[in-house]
Structure 1
Amino acid sequence: MNNLCMTQPNRKPSRVPHGFTLVEMLIVMVIFLMLVAVALPVVKGLISDQKATRTAQNIEAFMDAARSRAIAEGRTVGVRFERLSSVANGNYARSTSLRLRQLVGVPAYTGDAANAVATLSGSPANTANFDTADSPLIYLSSQILNDTVTPSNDYLAPIQVGDMLELPGGRSVPITGIGAVAGSTVPVTFDLAENTAVGATGSTVNRFPQAGGTSATGGNVKYRIQRSPAASTSRVMSLPRGMAIDFNYSGIGVGGSQFAPSMDPATLPRAVDILFNASGAVSQVIYNSVNTRVFPTGLIYFCVGEIDGVASVEGAAAADRDNLFSQDSTLTTNIMDPDSLWVVVNPASGRVTTVSMATPGTIPADPTDPTTLAYGEALKPARVFATFSDTVAE
């Protein structure tokens, strides 16, 4: 076999591509940095907007879940907006909520004995006397609430001041006091005036004046006590880092700010409870330190913003409090931040919506006081989108 020798043609060595020069790399880096400088603020703003929107939508979904549960189970279910601080000298934390908790209704109490009754007294009736043997839960509550040695245990009482006493005919009245045991009976006082929240300052009007009550001295009647819902330990929602519900701008009615804490540091603020009944409507709102329950006649507004935008309204003098309409480098309050949102609850239907913040109205002469009528007037324009988004008559 012949071996053929094939001659390979001469090839020029391939040219190795050279890398970027230092000047070219510097030009690329400068262009990249310019693009980053332009894009980062835009991206940061988009992320911030999405964070506020997602927070408000999560609050809306959490409240919708409580409302749906109330309808499905045919009992009261609520949502509690817990304050970051409920102590004296809590500063801005008294106006801040970072956690929501579902409230679950407990069965109404009608006494342990089949023939348990309440003996009414007063003209008009304002006291119900309960036998300790027939109504032991009321007796236990009296012992706990009137124990001056350990007043911190008052929350353990199964029946609380503010619970609703249902009288014959379906009329429910709030319990205003549970007295000490006298012999074999416990006196429980109640108020025939049914409170309805109105105005920016949280004042109330009486839907059923006491003068309309009739004397029932000595009358024995069957009763039912609608107890406060119990806080759930498993159904809890925490807001994302940096976000908060600002109570300074939250309340009932288009100009209401009832959820703002007292300017008096000694007045301890309470969590805000929204209670849904079996039809899905808002039956009661509880927000003040004396556990008063009100029936909202207007939309319920919650301001969702950043925790850095929550002002402190604590202090006797205006100089001690923050400007609630501040818009400077040290503090931009949530009502002045266009990224803030409203979570709005329609009390008639229970429907919850999320709406954008509008520009507030004329800043009041004292921009540190959330209880004035001028403050309520300033809130109204900021809630204009929220007001048009839903109506009580829906």
Structure 2
Amino acid sequence: MRRQHSPRRGYTLVELLVVIMIAMLLMVVSLPVVKTVMDDARPREASRILNSTLFTAKSRAAFTTRLAGVEFVMQAVGDTTMNPTTYQCTQMYLCEVPAMYAGDSTLSQATINVDTQSPSGSPRSPNTFYNYKLYLMDGPVGNSLPSSSDSTTKTANYLIDQDIFEIRFDFRGPWYTGHRIGTESFTVDIPGNPPPCVMSSTNPPNNFCRSAPFQIRRPPQRVGNAVELPRGTAIDMMFSGIGQQGEDFADTSALRIMFTPEGSLLNYTRMNRQMMGSPVAATNPVLGTAHFLVGVPQKVTGRQEEAMGAYTYTDASKSNIADFNALWVSIGRASGVVTTNENAPNPTFSGDPSMNAIRQSYIQQCRQYATAREQKGGR
């Protein structure tokens, strides 16, 4: 006797609608949680990229036995007409100091003509910088003194793209700052009297011209392509700096930090904001741990909010330094060790938050908390 099977029963439209409604409700409930997780992950990934870029720069310095570092590309935030302007960074470049340059020929030599001295005057003061025309020649100068109207030869053409460099004579002694003026004309700044090895002059009279071998140290150059932080993240330069309270990286349109071949931090260069004229590069020694605050762009408010009377750096909804999800990437000065640590959004303080001392105390407590904590897991 054959067993009879009942026909397969399908889902009704009502059942399907109930299942869809339940799925939609679960999605609506879980969306804020997913968004929070994604928001938390962005600064974490940005800190990994910054950490990796800094480590690569250290490794490059050790491999090439030359200074190497990271150049931070700054982006102005908010109203750029306000003073001070607030900056963030979402893009970086590796950079390194090129190999030493000593001319295109083994016979290349350098000299100056002290008759081109500016400012004029004698005797020269050891505390005053004097500017002279610099001649980079393919060989010794000989007995003919270069005139103030002479241009340099092939050796100088190698430096055609260098606006500023450092030079020393006879492979020893101090380094002097050199400048490119025009296409094939160079000058050098020397405090006090020039070194005798290159002191070509008719006053006092000489019966021969002097020249000497030279070495030129060029500024760091970018290496490779740009390193981009994940979309929706930024390094908040307003609260980044050196030591426990420093805001050394704020209000600067360009920043570069350099490592020695031994792995320690050497210096940082920033473009100082000028009241008149173009910004001027200033290189400073690193005297403490360097701290970078990694957060999100919409919370890079800086002092622009303060200028309007709303001091927002203690507000977690408006400020990276008050945000639990922000992270500190720190570089030890002597060791060069890079660590990533949690931010402390609720330090204790009392007083008017508009005061500079109160803000610096807030920053100090955040950094102390970060450096005292163990490195955050997974970073």
Q: TM-score scaled to structure 1, two decimals?
A: 0.67
Which position in structure 2 is the counterpart of 1:36?
27
Q: How does 1:15-26 map to 2 (within 5 A)?
A: 15-21=6-12, 24-26=15-17
Q: Work out whether residues 123 and 217 of structure 1, in 8 Å CA contact, stay in contact via their aligned partners in 2.
A: no
Residue number in structure 2 paired with 1:287? 270
Aligned partner of 1:305: which letter? G
Q: Deviations over 1:52-75 (max 9, x none)?
A: 211111111111111101111111
Distance 1:127 1:51 in 2: 52
CA distance in 1, matches of 2:74, 2:333: 22
Match of 2:344 in 1: 358
The Cα shift of 1:256 comes to: 0.9
Which residue of 1 is the match for residue 89 of structure 2?
97
Aligned partners of 1:90, 1:65: CA distance in 2, in Å? 36
In 2, are the aligned partners of 1:86 and 1:270 still within 8 Å (CA)? no
Deviation at 1:243, TM superposition (A): 0.8
The 2-side partners of 1:52 and 1:95 are apart by: 17
2:77 matches 1:77: no
What is the rounded CA distance, in whole Å, between the counterparts of 2:138 and 2:81 in structure 1?
39
Which residue, out of 253, 261, 265, partners 1:278?
Answer: 261
Moved more, 73-82 or 21-30: 21-30
How many residues are matched?
321
Shift of 1:340: 0.7
- Give the aligned partner of residue 237 of structure 1: 227
State the alpha-carbon separation in 1 of the partners of residues 110 and 138 from structure 2.
7
Which runs of structure 2 are paired with 1:1-394 in the superposition (5 Å)? Answer: 9=1, 12=4, 14-21=5-12, 24-85=15-76, 89=80, 94-110=86-102, 114-116=108-110, 122-124=125-127, 126-127=129-130, 129=132, 131-134=134-137, 158-160=162-164, 164=166, 175=177, 178=179, 186-188=187-189, 219-220=196-197, 224-232=215-223, 234-261=224-251, 269-289=252-272, 290-314=280-304, 318-319=307-308, 323-328=312-317, 332-361=318-347, 362=349, 365-367=352-354, 372-388=356-372
Q: CA deviation at 1:322?
A: 6.6
How far apart, CA to CA, are the structure 2 residues paired with 1:375 and 1:168? 51
In structure 1, distance between residues paired with 2:40 and 2:12: 42
Q: How far 1:327 sits from its partner (Å)?
A: 3.6
Identical aligned residues as a percent: 24
> Is the contact made by 2:77 and 2:87 (CA closer than 8 Å) also made in structure 1?
no
Is contact 1:81-1:272 (8 Å) kept?
A: yes
Deviation string, structure 1 residues 294-325 (Cα, Å, up to 9, x no partner): 1111111111111111115349x821777333
Structure 2 contact 110–169 (Cα < 8 Å) conserved: no
Cα displacement (A) at 1:41: 2.6
Distance 2:166 2:186 in 1: 19
Structure-1 separation of matches of 2:69 and 2:172: 22
* Separation in 2, partners of 1:360, 1:292: 34
Q: Which runs of 5+ in 1 are unaligned?
A: 1-8, 137-155, 191-214, 262-268
Structure 1 337/45 Cα, relative in aligned 2: closer, same or farther at 3 Å? same
Instruction: Note closer, same or farther for the CA distance 1:24–1:373 as it changes in structure 2 (3 Å cut).
Output: same
In the aligned structure 1, how far is the partner of 2:195 from the partner of 2:59? 42
Which deviates more from structure 2 when the two are superposed, residues 33-42 or residues 242-251? Answer: 33-42
Higher strand share: 2
C-alpha displacement of 1:244: 0.7
Q: Residues 325 and 363 of structure 1 are in contact (CA less than 8 Å); yes or no, is this contact kept in structure 2?
A: no
Q: Is 1:178–1:189's contact at 8 Å kept on the other side of the alignment?
A: no
RMSD: 4.1
Q: Distance in 1 between matches of 2:86 and 2:335?
A: 30
Compared CA separation, residues 51 and 388, structure 1 to 2 (3 A): same
Shift of 1:284: 1.5
Describe the shift of the 1:46–1:379 C-alpha distance in structure 2 as closer, same or farther (beyond 3 A).
same
Whichever residue aligns with residue 51 of structure 2, its letter is: E
User: SS at 2:359's partner residue?
Assistant: helix
* Residues 77, 300 of structure 2: 8 Å contact kept: no
> Partner of 2:95: helix, strand, or coil?
strand
The answer to whether the Cα contact below 8 Å between 1:110 and 1:116 also exists between their aligned partners in 2 is no
Report the CA distance between 1:122 and its aligned residue.
2.9
How far 1:379 moved relative to its partner? 0.3
Secondary structure in 1 matching 2:58: helix
1:282 positional shift:
1.7
Cα deviations across residues 102-151 of structure 1 (Å, max 9, x unaligned)? 11212334567644357895324644645335499xxxxxxxxxxxxxxx
Q: 1:312 to 1:379 in 2, by over 3 A?
A: closer
Structure 2 runs not aligned, ≥5 long: 118-123, 140-159, 199-211, 273-279, 375-379
Is the contact made by 1:360 and 1:380 (CA closer than 8 Å) also made in structure 2? no
Secondary structure of residue in 2 paired with 1:95: strand
Instruction: Give the direction of change, closer, same or farther, for the CA distance of 1:41–1:88 in structure 2 (3 Å limit).
Output: closer
